[in-house]
Amino acid sequence: MIFVAAGTQDGRELAGYLLNQGYDVTASVISQYGQSLLKAYQGIKINDKPLDESGLTDYLRKNGVKCFVDASHPYAANISSNAMAACKKCEIPYIRFEREVSQLKYDKAYYVADYKSAAKKAGELGENIFLTTGSRTLSIFSKADELVGCRLICRILPEAEVVKGARELGFTPDNIIAMQGPFSRELNRELFVKYNADVVVTKNSGSMGGTDTKFEAARDLELPLVIIDRPKMKYTNIANSFQDILSFVRENV
């Protein structure tokens, strides 16, 4: 069995790709939405339980996993760390599928190391802060001293629990955009204008995550971009294409 950490669109597609190559595949995804999308691949198994290092180690041993393909989100460093540790204990080959980073030449692009640094920099650059960093880190921005008095606009998934969480952090309906991405350059631009954005905060998640179109829209409007760098990880093995992942699996399973 091939175990795929598949919490992203390309992760799901990669799991389906390996399934179509004749492999027994289990795809791990937590959200109900992600699970519903995976069901389009007939015969795929789904793990819907969050697994820490210990839980993952037990799962790999009990289910006869022969290879671990890590296609988790580029910013989910804890998942990758747990996976590599569990694979080492179980002596199972591990490979990371890594999206290419989006390249940007723009004099108003400001790269920072983490979310707290992003909040600080955004506060220096404007008062209307347009957040495109997801729902899980909203509390960092809503509680940041540097953003007191600023208007924070968040773009998040249109799921009831996600919107509820934003409301509990103090985001009002007029500052919540609940939409499923990725978004086109034109739609990004229209949203930045509609909400009078002074600065856009984003991650470098790659073109699959819609980063390119955010970069382009912000540059069109000459808006400052605060870009949170990806976590620095040293992966056991890494590949940037489905074909390279397949080659690794064939060599190791």
Summarised one tens digit per residue, pLDDT across range 95-149 is 999 877 767 788 999 999 999 999 999 999 999 999 999 898 999 999 999 999 9
> Could you tell me which of 74, 91, 72 has the C-alpha nearest to residue 6?
72
Same domain? 27 vs 96: yes
**Token pair belonging to 220:** 């069109």
Q: Are residues 221 and 246 in the same domain?
A: no
Task: Write the DSSP symbol of residue 222.
Answer: T
| Integer-rounded Cα radius of gyration of the chain | 19
| Centroid of chain to Cα 42 | 25
Whether 79 and 24 map to the same domain: the answer is: yes
- pLDDT confidence of residue 152: 98
CATH number for the domain spanning 181: value is 3.40.50.620
In a shared domain, residues 236 and 224: no
Q: What is the mean pLDDT of residues 11-32?
A: 90
Under a CB-based contact definition with an 8 Å cutoff, are residues 225 and 110 in contact? yes
Res. 9 pLDDT band, cuts 50 70 90:
confident
* Whether 117 and 222 share a structural domain: yes
Do both 34 and 55 map to the same domain? Answer: yes
What is the sign of the dihedral through the CA atoms of 213, 217, 218 and 222? positive
Three-state DSSP class for residue 199: strand
Residues 207 and 241 in one domain: no
Residues 84 and 19 in one domain: yes
Are 135 and 54 found together in one domain?
no
Average predicted confidence (pLDDT) for the chain: 91
Same domain, 93 and 178: no
Q: So what's the pLDDT on residue 161?
A: 92
Portion of the chain with pLDDT greater than 90, in percent = 71
Query: Does residue 207 carry a pLDDT above 70?
Result: no
Which of the four pLDDT bands, split at 50, 70 and 90, describes residue 208? low
What domain count does the chain have? 2
Instruction: Tell me what pLDDT residue 76 has.
Output: 81
The CA distance from 122 to 215, in Å, is: 16
Domain that holds residue 6: 2-100+232-252
Same domain, 132 and 220: yes
Q: Which of 187, 181, 193 is nearest to 223 (CA)?
A: 193
pLDDT at 42 over 90: no
d(Cα 110, Cα 195) in Å, to the nearest integer? Answer: 21
Does residue 175 have a pLDDT over 80?
yes
For range 215-222, the mean pLDDT:
95
pTM above 0.85, yes or no: no
